[in-house]
Structure 1
Amino acid sequence: MSADEMLDRIAYWRQTQARFDTTGLLPWAVEGLAAGWVSPALADRLLQSELFLTEGRGLALDPRLGGPLMRSRALQELAEQLRDEGWIKGWRDERYDWMDDWGRVRFSLERSAFRTLGLCSRAIHVNGYIEDGGLWLGTRATHKSVDPGKLDNLTAGGIASGESPEDTLQRELAEEAGVPARLAGFARPVGILRSQRREPDGVHDELLYCYDLPLPDDFAPVNTDGEVSQFQLLQPPQVAEQLGAMTWDAAAVTVAWLGRWLDGEC
């Protein structure tokens, strides 16, 4: 496959991706800051909780709740109620931080509630490649609740409450791909992408912290946490052919890597 053919594949993939459409959704805010999107039915349920107020055409978290700690406690209790009522699926017992544009944590909340409430989460994605251009891709385990069996980057994972992107990078590389710390140190940040789309369980909104990681030719990733069923090493033209088999987020991160590879940057 020529470079032009690869660019055509990438362009086709871009055309097949749906635009984020907020039609029929209501926004909600925290201290005047846009926070998330919910359906009208869920908006009614949130108002019943007495933690939210009507504001404009949407909702606002009641400022009388207090600061980040009190907000976190109240929202976590609400999330547990929503789980018991069937609004939230796939409970993880793991918290994410919701941060404002200045990087300040405004509250932390159960991970699985983020999509339900349309909140922006954060994740790391790593392109693991070798110098001849081969890129390592993983296949997500079939038991995963999100995108089972789809192709993914070498490593991808959500940034848990209290973690920095670098903390998550080290942890996920070790758990998902068996990459030792001495190799993980070669990962370099290459940008942040934002992924937004509607899903059956709410709104997926995530900042993807992207890294490129050069790996030795004789290194083979090994999964240690059961979340990846297999890894395969593909050449860039093969990767371009597989974009449609990848998760949307992984494909977006991979497309950016393919662009750098075509430009001779990796």
Structure 2
Amino acid sequence: MLRPSSLRTARQPLFYHGHLVGWVAADIATHIPQEEDDAALQKGVHIAGQYRLTEIGEILSQKQLFRCFNELFDVFTPGGHVLGQIDRGALPLLGMAARGVHMNGIVMRDNQCFLWVGHRAADKRLDPGKLDHLAAGGVPAGLSPFDTMIKEAAEEAGIPASLSRQAQQVGLLNYVQNRPEGLRRDTLYCYDLLLPEDFTPRPVDGEVTRFELMKLETVLELVRDTDKFKFNVNLVLIDFFIRHGLFTPHEAREIGAVLYQDIRFEPSTA
């Protein structure tokens, strides 16, 4: 569980129809249509109720405050009720929670564990050229995490649904991190997929340029000693190492503190 109070100090709580939905910087708040002053309102920024969240995203995009993905994500109440949708690119700008999926592609060969690792394309918005999972992506409006995992596996790595449906959900990870695009407040649904030795993933949609099969020990060294992996992939891999007895939770927290100095990370397996 994460307690990102230190990350929120420079931001104000953001409300929509009375529900806390995000944390917004003061300079961004000035561009948001707000409810008129009301003594009954909690302290913070209150989005004017006559606006749909999609319209708020359009207003902020027109002001060039973020780059549109043209993909809508759900915005939730703290209790998990969907309040509306907003462009994916606006979520970190407004400190809104998002959901994502990450798949560990596992191959067992001669009693050794290998992982398929993707090399991100050089033109990616986030962490171009970094190493990545076999498949990963945000959960768009209207899709479940499992269905998103099936979709991403096919789109990114050419994995047929008959194979990706064998993946097992192994945990949930929550993290909060300051990034150039804003405040990331993400829940990652983690999946393990055991792949046949003769299966080779192939780039399909341009997210990655190629896939490389790496020994688990090599992946561990890259996570421990370098910054070659995409920023949040490290968290999922650390959780994988814990589950396979390569890290203790204490060691994982120490490494997480080095890799992510502005977050508090505690792995959480299902």
Compute the TM-score of the two structures, normalised by the length of structure 1: 0.82
Q: 1:167-218 deviations in whole A, cap 9, x for unaligned?
A: 1011100111111112112100011111211122211111101101100111
Q: Is 1:77 equivalent to 2:55 in the alignment?
A: yes
Residue 25 of structure 2 is matched in structure 1 by 39
> Whose helix fraction is larger, Structure 1's or Structure 2's?
1
Please say if residues 174 and 188 of structure 2, whose CA atoms lie closer than 8 Å, have aligned partners that are also in contact.
yes
One-letter code of the match for 1:43? A
Q: How does 1:231-246 map to 2 (within 5 A)?
A: 231-243=211-223, 244-246=227-229
Q: Counterpart of 2:60 in structure 1: which amino acid?
A: L
Hey, what's the Cα distance between the residues in 2 that align with 1:120 and 1:142? 27
Task: Tell me the percent identity.
Answer: 34
Does 1:130 pair with 2:107? Answer: yes
Q: Which amino acid is 1:36 matched to?
A: G
The corresponding residue for 1:144 is 124
Partner AA of 1:256 in structure 2: D
Structure 1, residues 86-143: CA drift from partner, whole Å, max 9, x if none? 2112x11110011234432111111111111111011110001012310111111111
Instruction: Could you tell me which runs of 5 or more consecutive residues in structure 1 were left unpaired when the two chains were aligned.
Output: 1-17, 66-70
Q: Helix, strand or coil: the match of 1:176?
A: helix
Q: Which residue of 2 aligns with 1:92?
A: 69
Unaligned runs of 5+ in 2: 247-270
Q: Is the 8 A contact 1:121 1:207 kept in 2?
A: yes
User: In structure 2, what is the equivalent of residue 224 of structure 1?
Assistant: 204
In structure 1, what is the equivalent of residue 86 of structure 2?
A: 109
Specify whether residues 136 and 195 from structure 1 end up closer, same or farther in structure 2 by C-alpha distance, changes over 3 A only: same
1:161 and 2:144 aligned: no
Q: Secondary structure of the equivalent of 2:232?
A: helix
The residue that corresponds to 1:184 in the other structure is 164
**In 2, Cα distance between equivalents of 1:149 and 1:53:** 47
Q: Specify the code of the residue in structure 2 equivalent to 1:21.
A: L
Contact 1:194–1:205 (8 Å) recurs in 2: yes
Q: Determine if contact 1:155/1:173 at 8 Å carries over to the other structure.
A: yes
Other structure's SS at 1:258 match:
helix
* Deviation of 1:261 (Å): 2.1
Cα shift at 1:56: 4.0
Structure 2: distance between partners of 1:155 and 1:20: 32
Q: In 2, Cα distance between the equivalents of 1:52 and 1:203?
A: 26
- Cα distance change on mapping 1:31 and 1:77 into 2, 3 Å: closer
